[in-house]
Amino acid sequence: MQYRRLGRSGLQVSELSLGSWVTYHNQVDATAAREMMAAAFDAGINFFDNAEVYANGQSEVVMGQAIKALKWPRLSYIVSTKFFWGLSKPGPDTNAKDTLNRKYLIQAIDGSLQRMGLDFIDLVYCHRPDPHTPIEETVWAMSDMITCGKALYWGTSEWSAQEIQAAWDIAERHHLHKPVMEQPQYHLFHRQRVEQEYARLYETMGLGLTTWSPLASGLLTGKYRHGIPPGSRGTVAGMDFLLPRLTDTTKNGAITQLESMASELDCNLSQLAIAWAAHNPRVSTVIMGASKLAQLQDNLGAANVIAKLTPEVMAEIDKITAGLAS
């Protein structure tokens, strides 16, 4: 496993990392989560991604229980969480959901710390932009989390380049902690934001990327070419919005060609897709998801494929997928 700096910071993250969206608590119980986190750690992964909203807070609980049981030295691992959507609870939800106001953020970090059983969280993200809260208010709140020792670095997820730049400029002007990283979706069929929109931010800000969905929610595994298999993400409650993407006939046709390329590189399609995302030097780490230990172990093989992606191979991949990418 290779390690890369998180943007312009000094923090080093493994080029592949493990996330918990959809899986923890929903598809993966505490025992399975512990086994997968242990296997990932043994393979060199040091970054584990989470969010307040995942499984309505229970994903953080499951990850926290696993960390406690594994007894890793605190310097040896990095964990994250993200704030915006809040938790579904009985009673009024004013200032508790779909916001980045100061009141919500300051209370949200305390809730995540309690659920994960940690003294601080390494990376905290604004999970989406909030058009109803001034960016300056959000920047001050995120910076204060770091100042008081509850978090170490902060960043954004699925913000526009303009919004990220505005946040950075506010922090620069007021001598606050600046956003260090962005967490965008990035895979063979979703590329423009990372490769075009953010291009100037890599130079001006030293923006780091912790990208998610390298397999396009499973599309790039090839398992959806003939419908929705039982037990797959496409069958998980609340994930029905993914079905049109997973069953797209044009993209599934391109996947057949990519599988042939993967075979020539002595890897499988999932490994090729993950390696492709990690091949981008602007990407600090690629967040993988897994619902089974065998799936995780297979995906970890992507680390050995990155070096095989020569300019000629990358050009051939582009020829197959670029016209289908957004």
Burial 311-321 (b: 16+ CB within 10 A, else e): eebeeebeebb
List active site positions.
Answer: 54
278 Ramachandran zone, left/alpha/beta (phi>0; psi -120 to 50): alpha
| Cβ contact 17:285 at 8 Å | yes
Residues 6 or more apart whose Cβ sits within 8 Å of residue 156: 125, 126, 129, 163, 164, 167, 179, 181, 182, 183
Residue 203, H or E segment? helix 199-204
Distance CA(258)–CA(244), nearest Å, equals 20
Nearest in space to 153 (alpha carbons), one of 137, 142, 162: 142
Distance CA(34)–CA(30), nearest Å, equals 6
Distance CA(194)–CA(183), nearest Å, equals 10
Q: Exposed, middle or buried: residue 72 (CB in 10 Å: 0-12, 13-18, 19+)?
A: middle
Nearest in space to 242 (alpha carbons), one of 255, 223, 257, 259: 223
Residue 250, H or E segment? helix 249-264
- With tokens 């970090």, the residue in question is 109
